[in-house]
Structure 1
Amino acid sequence: MARNTLSRSLHDVGLAAWFGGTLANAVALNPASAEAGSAGRTGAVANEGWNRWTPVNAVAIGAHLVGSVGQLRAHRRRVAQQQGVAGMSVAKTVLTAAALGVTAYSRLLGQTVNQGGAVPSKKATKPTRRTKAEIAAAQEQLDRLQWVVPAITGALVALSSYAGEQQRPSEVARGVAQRA
């Protein structure tokens, strides 16, 4: 079997950063923003943290997508010939599309919050009574969505592990035999 170190690395490192960064921000940045000293500073700190993460996240997602295409291209014969690989590839594609959609929607909500500047906030995703209605609604949606991207990308990590197991020579031989 040919080596695909570059595409596998782009796939794995990009996915790891996408998963880990969004999880870290949900677990650490959003709650820690409440320690900024005032409701207005809380919003400003959270906005700044997410604004700094966004370009890194975009690069991570891009690396993952480029690596995914490279992996699919490199393993196209296995996808066609080995039982279970096509289904796994479709599942990964669906999960990736879902993660992209939620990430993009979350960013749009984040931009709504960011446009408010030093938005009064209890923590990044918890508005105060003084928070404007449109921004409060975006924060409340972000409060729920902040866990969705790590959940979906975490599922992608697990599915990618399964895909790696399918590449064992014994699994390839068995899957090709079952397909025939």
Structure 2
Amino acid sequence: MARAAQTSTTAANTALRALRDVGAAAWFGGSLMGASGLNAAADAAGGPVERERVVAAGWARWTPIFRAAAAAHLLGSVGLLARRRSKADLVGLGLTTAAVGAVAGTAVMGSKEVPETTIHAVEWTVPALLAGVILSGLGRKG
């Protein structure tokens, strides 16, 4: 019986780690591509109207993927924190919360008259925070 419970716990932890890590990886990669590639492509597209059209289209296509990745990551993070209550999991969840705040902040700034340089700076904080999330989960078993 104890062995079956241990196997079940290990399987649950593996599933939660997969949700956390795959979600973080997808979110990290997309946010890095947006901050580095999409913005540069939009800058090369032409004038401000064309730039805004390209940026809006790119981020709109990324949004559903971001939502799924962030939800998977959060579900895995909260699940692991509830099961293990480790300091690394708590740090990772704190960094995740900051990244969610940065994403929300860029959305709000994008709807207002905020300089692009400010928005770009905040956009770069998202992959930086997520790199911290990914690093906080390394080397941890179970």
Instruction: Pick one of 3, 7, 14 that aligns with 2:16.
Output: 7
Counterpart for residue 166 of structure 1: 140
Aligned letter for 2:108?
L
TM-score by length of 2: 0.83
Q: CA deviation at 1:22?
A: 0.5
Q: Does 1:51 align with 2:25?
A: no
Counterpart for residue 125 of structure 2: 148
In structure 2, distance between residues paired with 1:5 and 1:93: 17
What does the per-residue CA deviation read over 1:77-108, in whole Å, with 9 as the maximum and x for residues that have no partner?
xx3xxxxxx32232222211111111111122
Counterpart for residue 65 of structure 1: 74
In structure 2, distance between residues paired with 1:146 and 1:53: 14
Alignment root-mean-square deviation, CA: 1.9
Q: CA deviation at 1:54?
A: 1.4
More helix as a share of residues? 2
TM-score by length of 1: 0.67
| Equivalent residue pairs, number | 133
Distance 1:87 1:70, change over 3 A: closer
Moved more, 144-153 or 39-48: 39-48
In structure 1, distance between residues paired with 2:127 and 2:134: 10
Instruction: List aligned pairs for 1:103-118, cutoff 5 A.
Output: 103-110=103-110, 112=111
What are the ranges of 5 or more consecutive residues in structure 2 without an aligned counterpart? 1-5
Q: CA deviation at 1:63?
A: 0.7
Which structure: larger Rg? 1
What does the per-residue CA deviation read over 1:37-89, in whole Å, with 9 as the maximum and x for residues that have no partner?
43321111011101111121111101101111222233x3xx3xxxxxx3223
Q: 3-state SS of the aligned residue for 2:137?
A: helix
